[in-house]
Every structure is written in C-alpha cells, then in structure tokens.
C-alpha cells in the first residue's frame, strides 16, 4: 500500500470519527431537548436505509442492471436475523454479540437468496430482469405470509430491540467501506467493463455471468444486513411492509442521489428516509413529495444529484491547500 493511500485512509477515518463525535456530543448532552431520542431514532433509520440503498446501487450503478425486487432481499435478512436472535436469546451472549450474530445470519440468508435468484435471472437484461426481481420479491412476501415461524401473515412481534444508533453507525460505516472497496477492486472494475460493453467483455474472455452473479450476491448480502438492523429497531414486522412500493422507494433514493455514487446513496438515503418524519403532519403526501423530487432531479440532473462523483476528504484538503498556496504565492515552492 502506498503512502498516499495510507494517508487517505487515515484522513477518512479521522473524518468519520469527527462525525461520530459530533453525534455523541449532541445526543449525550440532549442538545435537542425532549426530541433528542426521537431524532436519534431517525438517525438509526437513516443508517440502515443507507446500507440498503448503497447495496442496491451496486446492482443499478456498478452493474448497470435494473432491479425492482430489493425489498425481497431486505425481508429475507430481516426475518432470518429476527429468528436467529430469538433462538440465541438466553444463551449467554452479550447484546452486541447477539446483534452481530443475527446480522451475519440475515446477511448470509439474503446472500444465498441472491445467489439462487441471480444464477438464472442474470442471464436476462433490462425489463426482463426487472420483472424477474419483482416476481421474486412477491414470492418471498407470499411465503412469509404463510410460514408460521414468520407470523403467518400476521405481525411478527417480540423481536429484541438491539439496534442502538452507535452500533448501527459503525456497522453502516463498515458496510459502506466494504462496498466502496469492492467497487474499486478488480471485481468492481470488471463489472463496470461489463456494464459499458457486454459483448466486448465477453469476447475478451471475461466470465460475464460469474461477475454479475457475484455482484448481485454481495448486494443481497448487505441488503440482508440492513434488513436485520431494521428488524431489531422496529421489533415487529409484517410481510406487507416489504412490498413493491418499498423496492420503488429504495430505487428512487438511488436515482436521486446518483446512479453509481455511494456518496449520493448516503446523502439521498439520509434525506429521503427522514422526509416522512419531517412531513409527519402531511404523511398522505409523502409519495407525492418523492415523485416531485424525482421528476425535478430527472429534468435538471438526469444522472442524479451526484452522478458518479464520490466525495473524497483527501481530494478536498488537497484543493484547499492548493488554493491557499495560490493566494499566498507559495505555489512554486
């Protein structure tokens, strides 16, 4: 690893620690008064939504495929993690150990579902793939409506409330970091090459199906982790929560933030996940607000607010340093 990369990782880690420190200061000093716990809950919601949206961006942005069944993978992760945490309760595990075990189980279950769907479905493209993913999500939802272990169509309640904001923040940071590293790895670059020219990639000897299925499985895994956090925050679930509209909401957040930009996914998910709370008095207009924002973005920023641009703290500091030297006449030193 080069010295520049080490410095970049260190600076980004310090930036994340600074953001975390600000949240801790605001919440522990009850800076928002009686609303502090409420705002903390909104931030927890933003954390698991960011994981879900960023994982969907792997498929839509990095792979260039259209998926409308992401809620299916979220639901698999949510129910699997809830079942595992209920089974492990009272086994002597600390809360954080129980939480991590449940999230791992949820991610693995969703990843296996992604593998099972991806192997046959990713030979299709465009509208055909979108239809298959919608069908998968509906099949999963109907199954959960009929399985006794998931409530049999009724509310599955009694799930432990383990999703504390501080834990969720660092889990979100780790998940987004791993996804970013995947995109920047040779696997991510290969998938982008397939996205740009499918025929040329296949002609050059790339196993197109393998890389697409791999990316789809990774995306499903992190969707399952996000679903596990969701389950242990809400503590009660019903299969209809994971319907087609939920997939559409996640996709709209990807598009608005920027297809191919994890920075856009983070900011888009954080904003749009808190929008229903900000519009609580006008909750019936929530989807109208989504639609208006989406139409405006498509008119003025067709590639999303951030496009494929990624925020870099190292690049920002370098630019500020360059401007400082330019103003002080030290640019040639």
| Residue 230: how many other CB atoms lie within 10 Å | 27
Question: Which has the higher per-residue pLDDT, 330 or 232?
Answer: 232
pLDDT value, residue 93: 85
**Range with the lowest mean pLDDT among 199-208, 222-231, 270-279?**
270-279
Who's near 250: CB < 8 A, 6+ residues apart?
49, 52, 53, 56, 70, 71, 74
Q: How many CA atoms lie within 13 A of 111 on its CB side?
A: 13
pLDDT digits (tens, 9 = 90+) for 85-140: 999 888 888 889 999 999 999 999 999 999 999 998 888 877 888 888 999 999 99
Percent of the chain exceeding pLDDT 90 equals 37
DSSP assignment of 159-219 = ------HHHHHHHHHHHHHHHHHHHHSHHHHHHHHHHH-HHHHHHTT--HHHHHHHHHHHH
Least confident segment among 141-150, 173-182, 283-292 = 283-292
Partners of 156 in the β-ladder: 237
pLDDT recorded at residue 106: 95
With cut-offs at 50, 70 and 90, classify the pLDDT of residue 327: low
Which residues pair with residue 237 across a beta bridge? 156
Q: Which of 176-185, 249-258, 310-319, 324-333 has the highest mean pLDDT?
A: 176-185
Is residue 331 pLDDT above 70, yes or no?
no
CA 200 to chain centre: 30
Alpha-carbon Rg for the chain, nearest whole angstrom, is 21
Per-residue model confidence as pLDDT tens digits over 256-306: 888 888 888 888 888 877 776 666 666 667 667 767 877 888 788 877 888
Instruction: Average the pLDDT over 25-40 and give the result.
Output: 89
Residue 333 predicted with pLDDT over 60: no
Helices 165-184 + 95-121 axis angle, to 10: 40
Selection from 287, 268, 264, 286 nearest residue 277 by Cα: 286
State the pTM of this model.
0.90
Read off the tokens for 276: 């229903």
Which residues lie closer than 8 Å to 219 by C-beta, 6 or more apart? 55, 56, 58, 59, 70, 73, 114
The closest alpha carbon to 258, from 270, 271, 268, belongs to: 268
DSSP string, 74-142: HHHHHHHHHHHHHHHTTSS--HHHHHHHHHHHHHHHHHHHHHHHHHHHTTS-THHHHHHHHHHHHHHHH
CA distance 102 to 87: 10
Cα 275 from chain centre: 17
Q: With cut-offs at 50, 70 and 90, classify the pLDDT of residue 47.
A: very high
What pLDDT, on the 0 to 100 scale, is given for residue 325? 60
């Amino acid at each position: 690893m080069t010295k520049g990369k080490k410095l970049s990782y260190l600076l980004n880690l310090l930036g994340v620690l600074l953001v975390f420190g600000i949240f801790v200061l605001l919440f522990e000093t009850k800076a928002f008064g009686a609303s502090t716990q409420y705002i903390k809950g909104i931030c927890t919601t933003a954390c698991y939504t960011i994981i879900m949206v960023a994982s969907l961006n792997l498929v839509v942005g990095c792979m260039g495929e259209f998926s409308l069944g992401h809620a299916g993978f979220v639901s698999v992760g949510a129910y699997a993690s809830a079942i595992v945490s209920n089974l492990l309760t009272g086994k002597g595990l600390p809360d954080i150990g129980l939480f991590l075990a449940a999230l791992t189980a949820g991610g693995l279950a969703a990843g296996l579902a992604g593998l099972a769907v991806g192997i046959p479905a990713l030979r299709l493209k465009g509208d055909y793939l979108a239809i298959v993913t919608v069908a998968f999500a509906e099949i999963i939802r109907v199954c959960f409506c009929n399985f006794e272990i998931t409530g049999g169509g009724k509310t599955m309640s009694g799930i432990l409330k383990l999703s504390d904001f501080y834990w969720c923040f660092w889990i979100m940071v780790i998940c987004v970091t791993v996804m970013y590293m995947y995109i920047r790895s040779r696997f991510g670059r290969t998938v982008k090459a397939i996205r740009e020219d499918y025929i040329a990639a296949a002609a050059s000897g790339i196993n197109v199906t393998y890389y697409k299925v791999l990316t789809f499985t990774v995306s499903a895994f992190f969707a399952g982790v996000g679903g596990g956090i969701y389950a242990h925050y809400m503590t009660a679930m019903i299969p209809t929560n994971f319907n087609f509209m939920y997939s559409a909401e996640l996709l709209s957040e990807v598009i608005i933030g920027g297809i191919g930009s994890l920075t856009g996914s983070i900011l888009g998910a954080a904003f749009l996940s808190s929008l229903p709370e900000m519009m609580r008095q006008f909750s019936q207009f929530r989807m109208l607000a989504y639609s208006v924002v989406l139409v405006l973005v498509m008119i003025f920023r067709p590639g999303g607010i951030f496009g494929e641009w990624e925020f870099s703290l190292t690049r920002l500091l370098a630019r500020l340093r360059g401007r400082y030297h330019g103003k002080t006449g030290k640019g040639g030193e």
